[in-house]
C-alpha cells in the first residue's frame, strides 16, 4: 500500500529492452520518457530531484522508502524539479521533519512530474546494472506494454544529448561573498546546484553566475580572478561552446575549478576523450582516492559519462602537464584532473564528484579551500 492521496491509479513502466513493471501512480498522472538511472542515496531526494544534471533522466531510488521527510523551503538545489520521472518502492505515508511543509507527492504533482510507486526497485536496479542504463517510459494512460515500448524506442538516447541550453540561467546573477570579499569568480552555469556558490561565498568569494553561452569577454567584464564550470546534464561530447571558452580561460592563465560536467569539459579541453559508463555513479557513498595523498574520501556522485585519461604519469598539453588526481575505488574511473604549471604547481583542476555534497558526506569540502588557495596564489602573483 502506498501513500497516494485518493484512489490509486495504475501506472506502467517499460524499459527499452521490453522489461516492464506495473505500479501505482504518484505525483502527476500522465506519461514521461527519459533515461532510466538508479541512485543509491539513502537521503537527499529533494536535492536529487532539483539537481539540473538529472534533466531527461528517470531516477530510480534504491532506498526502499522515500518521502519520509517531506519537502521543505530550503533544500532545493535550483528553481524547479528536473527529473523526467521518479520511481520508488514505497512512498512514505507520513512525512515527519521539523522543516517540512509539504509532501513529496504534492510537490511532484504541482510541478507536473510523473512518479511511480510500488515498483520492485531492487529487481529494476539489478536489471540496469546488468544491462546498462537505457531509455524508459512511464504512463498512466497507456497500460499496454507493447504500445508503450514502441514509444520508448522513438525517444532520443542520452549519448549525443545537448541539454545545457535547457537548464542554464538566461541572465547573470550574483551570489555575494559572506563577510569580507576576497575574490571575484565567474561561475559558468551548465546546470549549477545552489550549494556550489554557497560553499564558495562562505569562503569570501563573490560568485557571478553566468549563462552557458558566456564569452571570455563576459568573464573579463566581471573582473574574474578565476573561473568555475558547474555540473550539468547531457553528453559532455556535445559541449563544444563551453569547451572553447575554457580553452580561452586557460590561455588567459586564469585559475580554474570544474565539478562533474565542468570536469568532463576540462578533460576535453586538455585533449582527453569522454565515454559513457555502463550505468554510471549516482549516490552519496562512492569511495574516491586522492592519488597524491593516498587518502580516501567518501563522495557524492551523479555521472553517467567519464573522462578517458591515463591513470599514471602526465600528459603534455599546450598549457603544461596534465594528470589524473583522483580515481574511484569501485571501478577505477577517473574522478579528478589537474593541470600543472612549469614549476609543478596546480594551476587548474576538476573533480567528477560533488564536493558541495548536497546531500552527502563533507569529506571533499577541502577542494573549495584548495581553489581559494589557488585564487590567492594567482592573485598574489599578478
Ligand X SMILES: NC(=O)CC[C@H](N)C(=O)O
- Interface residues with ligand X (CB under 6 A)? 53, 231-234, 236, 260-261, 302-305
Nearer CB in complex with ligand X: 149/306: 306
* DSSP H or E stretch at residue 90: strand 90-91
Nearer CB in complex with ligand X: 48/125: 48
CB contact set of 344 (below 8 Å; sequence gap of 6+): none
Q: What is the DSSP-derived secondary structure letter of residue 130?
A: H
Counting every residue, how long is the chain?
382
Residue 260 catalytic?
A: yes
Q: Minimum distance between the CB of residue 287 and ligand X, rounded to whole angstroms?
A: 18
Closest CA to 199 of 2, 365, 316: 365
Q: What is the DSSP-derived secondary structure letter of residue 345?
A: -
Q: Minimum distance between the CB of residue 233 and ligand X, rounded to whole angstroms?
A: 5
Nearer CB in complex with ligand X: 59/149: 59
Q: Minimum distance between the CB of residue 37 and ligand X, rounded to whole angstroms?
A: 8
Residue 366 contacts residue 325 (beta carbons within 8 Å): no
165 is in an annotated binding site: no
Residue 69 contacts residue 100 (beta carbons within 8 Å): yes
Q: Which sign, positive or negative, has the C-alpha torsion 264, 268, 269, 271?
A: positive
> Of the listed 47, 118, 335, 356, which one is catalytic?
356
305 is in an annotated binding site: yes
72 is in an annotated binding site: no
Tell me how far apart the alpha carbons of residues 295 and 290 are, in angstroms, rounded to a whole number.
5
> Of the listed 127, 281, 326, 354, which one is catalytic?
354
330 is in an annotated binding site: no
Tell me how far apart the alpha carbons of residues 23 and 114 are, in angstroms, rounded to a whole number.
12
Residue 328 catalytic?
A: no
350 is in an annotated binding site: no
> Of the listed 118, 206, 260, 263, which one is catalytic?
260
Nearer CB in complex with ligand X: 16/35: 35
In this structure, the number of other CB atoms found within 10 A of the CB of residue 139 comes to: 26
Q: Minimum distance between the CB of residue 215 and ligand X, rounded to whole angstroms?
A: 22
Q: Minimum distance between the CB of residue 203 and ligand X, rounded to whole angstroms?
A: 21
Residue 38 has which C-alpha cell? 538508479
Nearer CB in complex with ligand X: 70/234: 234
304 is in an annotated binding site: yes
Residue 356 catalytic?
A: yes
- Cα–Cα distances (Å) from 12 to 84, 103, 111, 141, in that order, read 15, 23, 20, 9
Q: What is the DSSP-derived secondary structure letter of residue 237?
A: G
The end-to-end CA distance of the chain, in Å, is 64
266 is in an annotated binding site: no
Count CA atoms within 13 Å of residue 19 on its CB side: 17
53 is in an annotated binding site: yes
Q: Minimum distance between the CB of residue 280 and ligand X, rounded to whole angstroms?
A: 6
Nearer CB in complex with ligand X: 144/240: 240
The 3-state secondary structure of 135-186 reads EEEEECCCCCHHHHHHHHCCCCCCCCCCCHHHHCCCCCEEECCCCCCCEEEE
Closest CA to 305 of 262, 351, 264: 264
User: Could you tell me which residues are annotated as the binding site for L-glutamine?
Assistant: 53, 232, 234, 261, 264, 302, 304-305
User: Could you tell me which residues are annotated as the binding site?
Assistant: 53, 232, 234, 261, 264, 302, 304-305
State the catalytic residues: 260, 354, 356
Amino acid at each position: 500500500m502506498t501513500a497516494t492521496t485518493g484512489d490509486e491509479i495504475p501506472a506502467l513502466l517499460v524499459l527499452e529492452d521490453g522489461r516492464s513493471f506495473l505500479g501505482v501512480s504518484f505525483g502527476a498522472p500522465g506519461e514521461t520518457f527519459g533515461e532510466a538511472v538508479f541512485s543509491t542515496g539513502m537521503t537527499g531526494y529533494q536535492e536529487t530531484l532539483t539537481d539540473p544534471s538529472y534533466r531527461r533522466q528517470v531516477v530510480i531510488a534504491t532506498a526502499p522508502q522515500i518521502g519520509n521527510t517531506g519537502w521543505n523551503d530550503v533544500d532545493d538545489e535550483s528553481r524547479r524539479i528536473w527529473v523526467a520521472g521518479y520511481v520508488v518502492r514505497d512512498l512514505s505515508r507520513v512525512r515527519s521533519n521539523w522543516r517540512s511543509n509539504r509532501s513529496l507527492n504534492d510537490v511532484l504533482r504541482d510541478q507536473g512530474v510523473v512518479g511511480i510507486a510500488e515498483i520492485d526497485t531492487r529487481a529494476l536496479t539489478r536489471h540496469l546494472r546488468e544491462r546498462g542504463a537505457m531509455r524508459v517510459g512511464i504512463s498512466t494512460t497507456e497500460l499496454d506494454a507493447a504500445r508503450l515500448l514502441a514509444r520508448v524506442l522513438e525517444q532520443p538516447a542520452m549519448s549525443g544529448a545537448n541539454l545545457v541550453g535547457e537548464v542554464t540561467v538566461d541572465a547573470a546573477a550574483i551570489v555575494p561573498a559572506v563577510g569580507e570579499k576576497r575574490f571575484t569568480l565567474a561561475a559558468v552555469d551548465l546546470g549549477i546546484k545552489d550549494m556550489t556558490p554557497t560553499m564558495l561565498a562562505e569562503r569570501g568569494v563573490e560568485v557571478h553566475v553566468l549563462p552557458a553561452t558566456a564569452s571570455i569577454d563576459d568573464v573579463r567584464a566581471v573582473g574574474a580572478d578565476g573561473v568555475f564550470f558547474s555540473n550539468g546534464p547531457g553528453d559532455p561530447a556535445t559541449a563544444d561552446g563551453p569547451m572553447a571558452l575554457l580553452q580561452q580561460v586557460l590561455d588567459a592563465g586564469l585559475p580554474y575549478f570544474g565539478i562533474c560536467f565542468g570536469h568532463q569539459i576540462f578533460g576535453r579541453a586538455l585533449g582527453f576523450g569522454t565515454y559513457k559508463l555502463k550505468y554510471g555513479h549516482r549516490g552519496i557513498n562512492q569511495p574516491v582516492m586522492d592519488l597524491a595523498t593516498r587518502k580516501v574520501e567518501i563522495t557524492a556522485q551523479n555521472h553517467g559519462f567519464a573522462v578517458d585519461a591515463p591513470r599514471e604519469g602526465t600528459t603534455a598539453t599546450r598549457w603544461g602537464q596534465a594528470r589524473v588526481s583522483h580515481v574511484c575505488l569501485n571501478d577505477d574511473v577517473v574522478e579528478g584532473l589537474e593541470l600543472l604549471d612549469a614549476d609543478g604547481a596546480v594551476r587548474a583542476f576538476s573533480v567528477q564528484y560533488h564536493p558541495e555534497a548536497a546531500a552527502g558526506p563533507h569529506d571533499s569540502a577541502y577542494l573549495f579551500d584548495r581553489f581559494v588557495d589557488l585564487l590567492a596564489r594567482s592573485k598574489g602573483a599578478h
